[in-house]
């Protein structure tokens, strides 16, 4: 098991958001986590990456059997985790080229030296693949980028860093169909036994391009439904109201059991 989450609870500024998440993922798999706004999807993504603003209050996170909670964010990145942000942050003054080069250098082992020439070539190829202008390499990271450009920059980083697990947090939101296609192509490019991904999304449309092996529905801090790709269509047809009703139904069912 590449990632194993057990009974994870977490809060933000003292407010409980995750209320017992169980989730596991094998190497090479693509999982989708869907759910309405406010269900805890982004919280889960941030916790996987180690954002200190999110407090884990219980449960466990295992990465290849080791405790992920003991690792700093940068250690998680170097261990092969990658988070594509819903709202990538602007870093004025830091050029994309310099950033990618430094990031590659942190990933070198021992005495290894970065071959800048071939690395630059790889950046250019990937930019072309993502239909990005070459000049992006000289621009300041995410600074003044449009929403779509920021998302492409996230995917470019993913292609360069080749993570073992990429978490795409609402990468599809705010994208037009062309951008969505390009972003999906990036994810599909890495697909293989050494690459897993968690696609966090509100809508089904990115899942038309990136086919998930498993689909989970997160609602009110819990995974309330899991299934194969067919779950996407069901959700599409019935909407999140169906899930909400079902959960409420379960709760009333439990209550009726207890009161009986």
Partner 1 sequence: MSSPSTVLNKEEYQHGYHFPDQSIFKTRRGLDEEIIRAISGQKKEPEWMLDFRLKAYEAFRQKSMPNWGADLSRIDFDNIYYYAKPTEEQKRTWEDVPEDIKETFDRIGIPEAEKKFLAGVGAQYDSEVVYHNLKEELEKQGVVFCSPEEAVQNHPDLVRKYFGTVIPYRDNKFAALNSAVWSGGSFVYVPPGIRVDIPLQAYFRINSENFGQFERTLIIADEGSFVHYVEGCTAPVYTTDSLHSAVVEIIALEGARVRYSTIQNWSGDVYNLVTKRAFAYKNATVEWVDGNLGSKRTMKYPSVFLKEEGAHGEILSIAFAGQGQEQDTGGKVFHLADNTSSVITSKSISKDGGVSSYRGMIKVHPGRKNIRSRVVCDALLLDEKSVSNTYPYMEIASEDVTMEHEASVSKISDDQLFYLQSRGFTEEEAAAMIVNGFLDPLVKELPMEYAVELNRLIELQMEGSVG
Which residues make up the interface to partner 1 (CB under 8 A)?
49-53, 72-74, 76-78, 83, 85, 88-95, 99, 102-103, 106-107, 140, 157, 161
Q: Which is nearer to partner 1, 3 or 231 (CB)?
A: 3
Phi then psi dihedrals of residue 164, to 5 deg: -85, -30
Q: Which is nearer to partner 1, 93 or 192 (CB)?
A: 93
Closest CA to 107 of 87, 122, 92, 128: 122
Give min distance, CB of 22 to partner 1, in A: 24
Q: Which is nearer to partner 1, 130 or 156 (CB)?
A: 156
Phi then psi dihedrals of residue 140, to 5 deg: -75, 140
Give min distance, CB of 248 to partner 1, in A: 35
Distances (CA, A) of 6 to 3, 24, 42, 58, 145: 10, 8, 18, 9, 38
Give min distance, CB of 14 to partner 1, in A: 17
Q: Which is nearer to partner 1, 14 or 260 (CB)?
A: 14
User: What stretch of H or E contains 31?
Assistant: strand 30-34
Give min distance, CB of 196 to partner 1, in A: 17
Task: Quickly tell me which residue has 């050029």 as its tokens.
Answer: 95
Give min distance, CB of 153 to partner 1, in A: 11
Q: Which is nearer to partner 1, 136 or 161 (CB)?
A: 161
Closest CA to 202 of 30, 35, 18: 35
- Cβ atoms of 31 and 215 within 8 Å: the answer is yes
């Amino acid at each position: 098991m590449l990632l194993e989450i057990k009974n994870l609870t977490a809060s933000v500024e003292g407010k409980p958001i995750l209320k017992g998440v169980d989730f596991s993922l094998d190497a090479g798999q693509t999982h989708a986590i869907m759910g309405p706004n406010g269900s805890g999807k982004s919280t889960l993504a941030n916790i996987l990456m180690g954002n200190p603003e999110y407090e884990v209050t219980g449960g466990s996170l295992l990465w290849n059997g080791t405790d992920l909670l003991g690792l700093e964010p940068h250690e998680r990145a170097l261990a092969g985790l990658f988070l594509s942000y819903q709202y990538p942050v602007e870093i004025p003054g830091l050029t994309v080229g310099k950033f990618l080069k430094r990031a590659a250098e942190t990933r070198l082992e021992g005495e290894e030296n970065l071959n800048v020439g071939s690395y630059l070539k790889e950046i250019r190829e990937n930019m072309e693949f993502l239909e990005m202008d070459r000049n992006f390499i000289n621009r300041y990271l995410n600074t003044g980028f449009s929403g779509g450009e920021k998302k492409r920059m996230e995917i470019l980083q993913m292609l360069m860093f080749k993570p073992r697990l990429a978490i795409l947090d609402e990468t599809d939101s705010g994208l037009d169909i062309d951008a969505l296609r390009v972003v999906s192509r990036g994810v599909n490019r890495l697909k293989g036994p050494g690459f897993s991904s968690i696609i966090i999304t509100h809508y089904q449309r990115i899942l038309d391009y990136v086919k998930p092996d498993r689909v989970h529905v997160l609602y009110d801090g819990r995974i309330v439904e899991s299934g194969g790709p067919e779950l996407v269509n069901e959700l599409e047809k019935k909407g999140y109201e169906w899930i909400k009703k079902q959960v409420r139904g379960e709760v009333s069912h439990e209550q009726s059991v207890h009161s009986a």
